[in-house]
Amino acid sequence: MSNRIDYAKTSPAGYKAFRGIYVHVQNSGLSTDLTNLVYLRVSQINGCAYCIDMHSRDLLKAGIAIEKLVLVPVWRDASAVFSPRERVALAWAETVTRVAETGVPDADYEAASAEFDAKELVDLTYAIGLMGAFNRLGISFRTPPAATLAARAA
């Protein structure tokens, strides 16, 4: 994979605007580990190698158990590994990311709003939407993951 365009350098104002949403989510009160799990799951669904690599590394640096990290794609089958709040956030991330397929059913909304207050749910949805946008940039412009760059350098 070779990088087509460095979108952050090509349109710094657009990147700065996205960065503002990222900072808002960081300061929203949602835990960093939870948002990184959501970022990872959204990136897995969308197939963004750059973001999967980045958020996996972030979670590992934060101390997530490797057993938990590798089970994120199949969290429903390994639900005991994830807290109830994480399971609800991952389910919400999946239904919102696949909005064209799911239409975000009332049952999904009700489950999410039972776990998260209104502000948390909106901020979680901002995080999901932001990651979807970053995935689209990463995939469209072929942003190489850090692991690929390290392998090339070796």
> Are 3 and 50 contacting, i.e. CB atoms less than 8 angstroms apart?
no
Query: Is 40 a member of any domain?
Result: yes
Distances in Å between the alpha carbon of 79 and those of 12, 29, 142, 147, 150? 40, 24, 33, 29, 33
Query: Is 13 a member of any domain?
Result: no
Query: Is 1 a member of any domain?
Result: no
- By residue count, the chain amounts to 154
Residue 53's domain spans which residues? Answer: 21-142
Fill in the amino acid letter for 92: W
> Are 56 and 40 contacting, i.e. CB atoms less than 8 angstroms apart?
yes
Helix axes 32-46, 49-61, angle to 10 degrees: 160
The total of structural domains in the chain comes to: 1
pLDDT the model gives residue 146: 78
pLDDT the model gives residue 1: 57
pLDDT along the chain (154 residues), means of 10: 86 96 98 98 97 97 97 97 98 98 98 98 98 97 83 79
